[in-house]
Amino acid sequence: MNAIVELTDTHVVHKARSGGLFARDRVYALTGADLAVAPGETVGVVGESGCGKSTLAKVLVGIQRPTAGTVSYRGRDLWSMPPAERRAAVGAGTGMIFQDPSTALNRRLPVRQILRDPLDVHDRGTKSQREERVRELMALVGLPRALADALPGRLSGGQRQRVAIARALALDPGLVVADEPTSALDVSVRAQILNLLLDLKERLGLALVFVSHDIQTIRRMSDRVITMYLGRIVEETPAADVTDRARHPYTRALFSATPGLLHPIDPIPLTGPVPSATHPPSGCPFRTRCWKADQVCAAEMPGFSAASTPPHRYRCHHPVEEDEATHDLVRQNAPREPS
Ligand SMILES: Nc1ncnc2c1ncn2[C@@H]1O[C@H](COP(=O)(O)OP(=O)(O)OP(=O)(O)O)[C@@H](O)[C@H]1O
């Protein structure tokens, strides 16, 4: 695969926010991530709050520097490039859409200027070509021309997110990363924004990395689903298989509540909260909530199983059997004490 962006054993460790200046605590936000995104594909990222989804997104678009491991853009190591070259590679190669368009856009700039900014910064075209590009971008995302001079405060939430999408597309990137792009919007406009993203992806041949808590949306939007748990990628599954054929117990539990299962079931309960990213459990981080866990799971984090090959890979000592009906998993997953 000729990846647009590729992470190899990438880690992000933060100093704990609450610990004060001399805090020793570390937050393991991303641990050993390996992921390649191919041109034109949509990768959905799921996991509960705090599992590292946003960190992964920021690493992919070069706004978070990893503390270890590499990030390659079209085969070149991003963080060993000189800063100006890196900014150019990131700016032209990727676009990012954030959760809340009201905070992501400069409130003092009219739409026209917000969309021109990336063209100015990267010195794209003449003045009139830039103006033409702004018109083109507005049309692309369905914004009426009359809004070119409007400030973001005058726009609806959906229109603001359209501006944010247009800005992300300004330099014609190969990859767009959308971090919860609809969660701050009214329910009534969410579907419109998702359809717009899908439409743009098709028309422009974009690769899309889509982070969401909304399991159904992920299933609908993605070609491939990445499951994250406590900073680790624990499974990659073709989206069509994710509800019924996922092998990692955590993915099965996350997707168990979605409609459209081959055998509809009650949700598999996930007992207790996600453990702290400052003191993650030894071995497999999911073991404290997993109904299949034993001593092996406490001793060692499994690598991707030798039996699993892309596009389906999982890291689990006791994967769910392919033919194990999800019904049976509900019964097995009685609440238990952490081992
Ligand atoms: N700058 C930072 N300093 C310290 N800790 C951080 C920082 N950024 C993220 N974290 C921590 O890293 C972990 C992963 O955070 P991240 O935002 O990537 O998770 P997430 O899955 O996107 O969560 P959510 O769905 O709530 O947005 C969390 O424990 C978070 O508190």
Ligand 1 binding pocket (C-beta < 6 A) is 14, 17, 27, 29, 47, 49-55, 277
Distance 213 CA to ligand 1 centre (A): 14
Instruction: Find, among 197, 180, 227, the residue nearest to 45 by Cα.
Output: 227
Distance 179 CA to ligand 1 centre (A): 13
pLDDT of residue 270: 83
Averaged pLDDT for residues 229-249: 92
Atom of ligand 1 nearest to the CA of 51: 21
CB 44 within 8 A of CB 222: yes
Atom of ligand 1 nearest to the CA of 52: 18
What is the residue-averaged pLDDT of the chain? 89
Closest residue by Cα to atom 1, ligand 1, is 14
Closest residue by Cα to atom 26, ligand 1, is 49
20: pLDDT confidence band, cut at 50, 70 and 90? low
Backbone angles phi, psi at 259, to 5 degrees: -65, 160
Atom of ligand 1 nearest to the CA of 231: 14
Strand-pair partners of 35: 7
Considering the four listed CATH numbers 3.40.50.300, 3.90.79.10, 3.90.470.20, 3.30.230.70, the one that applies to the domain covering 5-222 is 3.40.50.300
Give the N- to C-terminal CA distance of the chain in Å, as an integer. Answer: 41
CB 247 within 8 A of CB 290: no
Domain with CATH 3.40.50.300 in the chain: 5-222
Mutate to test the pocket of ligand 1, among 24, 53, 180, 276 (most ligand atoms within 8 A of CB): 53
| Alpha carbons 4 and 246: distance in angstroms, whole number | 26
Atom of ligand 1 nearest to the CA of 228: 21
- Could you tell me the two tokens for 83? 């800063």
- The amino acid at residue 321 is E
| Alpha carbons 228 and 51: distance in angstroms, whole number | 6
| Alpha carbons 183 and 197: distance in angstroms, whole number | 14
What is the ipTM for the molecules in this complex? Answer: 0.98
Distance 102 CA to ligand 1 centre (A): 21
| Alpha carbons 90 and 85: distance in angstroms, whole number | 9
Closest residue by Cα to atom 14, ligand 1, is 52
pLDDT of residue 126: 95
Rounded to two decimals, what is the model's pTM? Answer: 0.92
Closest residue by Cα to atom 10, ligand 1, is 29
- Give per-residue pLDDT as tens, 103-144: 889 999 999 999 999 999 999 999 999 999 999 999 999 999
